Chain A
Amino acid sequence: MTVAKSVTAPKIKKQSQAKEIFKRFVKNRSAVIGMIILAILLFAIIIGPYLTGYSATKIDIRSRLQFPSAKHWFGTDDNGRDVLTRCLVGGRWSLGCGILATIISAGGGIILGSLTGYLGGKFDMVVMRFLDIIQSIPGLLLTIVISAALGTGFDKTILALALGGIAGYTRMMRSSIMRVRDEEFLEAAEAVGCNSVQRIFGQALPNSMAPMIVSITQGVADRILGLASLSYIGLGIQPPDPEWGAMLNVGKQYIRTYPYLIILPGIMIAITVLSLNLMGDGLRDALDPKLKD
């Protein structure tokens, strides 16, 4: 998949680490392709809706359910809205939700994981048992239930998508803090009196950044898929808001007669998730060449 191959034996001369990572990332073909696709996609969903000349929400019954044509590249939906415009605006919803939910998840996980890892003891135990409970409910199921409890809409859906993911990030952060802390304890026996909080976090945070960044990239992809599922079953984002899953939910009624209504939003999801996955793979290879394919 990638051009570069890793070799363990000889040491290559030391370079600034960030520069080295960046170099490896740029050299990674799949990562660059992913980044280009994502950049085009971002450009399209931000600028695109202004260029299509249609509104994503304005109903125009006279032109309903038209197959893709020169006038409407992706056709129109049951309310006569331009599907291309809706797909592009839908990207704002999907990517926006995915990114925000992941940031909340990761942020919550980093804070909680740092606390449990650093404090240890009873607090750690209680939180970990709680995570055990949360993680014994299949992920999407938990998201569905939380979403049902919170209700639909942009902010509530983001929260529903975010809450379930905190557990994973917490564990990740906790284990890297613990690793550093254990080493720290060994050293502390010899050199007492150093500011250990600063040193633990100073060491653990950069160490855990690599897997964190990779996991966040993939987290956005996973949450976009989760959001689509949620909207498809009638939770999450509600029509007429043009989220991709919600568009599929409406489109499924027309699967026999107007299949483009479900094909096109699905392809948008796939392209987005694919580009994020490509980037995630590239980042993983760049950050840790040992893990490379």
Chain B
Amino acid sequence: MGRYIRNRLLWMIPVLIGVAVMIFSIMYFVPGDPAAIILGKEAEEWEILALRQEMGLEDPFLVQLGRFLWNALHLNFGESYFTGIPVIQEIAMRMPRTTLLGFLSMFFTMLVGVPLGIYAATHRGQLGDSAVMALALFGVSFPAFWMALMLVLVFSLRLHWLPATGIGSWKHYVLPVLASTISGVGTQARLARSSMLEVIRSDYITTARSKGLKEREVIYKHALPNALLPILTSAGARLAHIFGGSTVIETVFSIPGIGTYMINAVNNRDYPIVRASVLVLAILFSLVMLLVDLAYAFVDPRIKARYAGAK
């Protein structure tokens, strides 16, 4: 098992290097010259060229790429073109908010979505099932950021219960987390339901019933552990979704997290920030997927055996 964790960690390295290369390349080919943008419209051509040389933008692509990777390895992502503040410093400050937001959203999404899906699956065809599924279908049909706007409209602007923007007390987290959760619960409940139904239909559940177990035992002892496996994987996917969506949710609530940082940078063509933000979120996501995989191996003896035996 220790070996598996090590291999899995080692495998992250090429993937992350790949991500870094890809992000760098995409941003490299973005139209528009950062030097020209920094200097503004009145800049002379020689001024721009001088700045380009100073920024290393005149070097060949591979040299720039190598420099980016080497610096990234040392957690040096350069400085913002506009504020001059080291990117890593900003990221360190903003990271906890985005992570907290992401994990809280995921936690509540799972907390509500999974039991709802399991309830629906075990009450298949009954009124409760239909109600849960109808709600879930509506939930997945609204854009999360629009849901966020609606929450702001009701709870901040009309009722004045919760703040609409910024970050400070726990109250600031309520609406963003709620918005992410509402739009995630539907997907999660649908996934949990279909995964549970799949399991309930399987032969070993009939076997368990034929042993004379109580329906409760059949569901919780035999069906649930098996149904949880795909649900676990979906939790990882959900987190990716939340991290991706956090950029938009943070924009709605003006939360100074990685998302807003990146979006502003995208609009300003502040490339070091964009590259660093994406890379950091990808690292975070990869780590979570690693945890999910480990948890999976822990729960599923088939996978555990495969890894214990693998190289």
Contacts and interface: CB of A to CB of B under 8 A. Distances in A.
A and B touch in the complex (CB under 8 A): yes
A136 interface: yes
Given A229-B145, A234-B267, A266-B142, A291 B194 contact: yes
Given A134-B22, A141-B243, A151-B31, A228 B146 contact: yes
A136 B137 contact: no
A141 B22 contact: no
Interface residues of A, number: 50
Nearest to B157: A256
A140 B129 contact: no
Contacts of A149: 26-27, 29-30
B103 to A, nearest CB: 14
Ordered nearest first, which 6 A-B pairs have the shortest CB separation? A140-B244, A133-B18, A138-B244, A274-B141, A266-B146, A138-B240
A144 B149 contact: no
Interface of B is mostly: helix
Contacts of A273: 140-142
Contacts of A252: 149, 252
A20 interface: no
20 contacts: A1-B130, A5-B125, A137-B19, A139-B240, A141-B281, A148-B27, A149-B29, A221-B141, A233-B248, A233-B251, A262-B153, A263-B150, A263-B153, A266-B149, A270-B138, A270-B142, A274-B138, A277-B137, A277-B140, A293-B133
Interface string B93-130: 00000000000000000000000000000001100011
Nearest to B153: A259
A146 interface: yes
Contact of B266 (A5, A136, A139, A235): A235
Does more than half of chain A's interface fall in helix, strand or loop, or is it mixed?
helix
Contacts of A142: 244
A136 B149 contact: no
Interface residues of B, number: 57
Given A139-B240, A140-B247, A266-B143, A148 B30 contact: yes
Contact of A144 (B129, B142, B247, B286): B247
B145 A232 contact: yes
Interface string B268-311: 00000010001001100110010000000000000000000000
Interface in A241-259: 245, 248, 252, 255-256, 259
A32 interface: no
Contacts of B285: 136-138
Contact of A225 (B134, B143, B263, B274): B143
A129 interface: yes
Contacts of A233: 247-248, 251, 263, 266
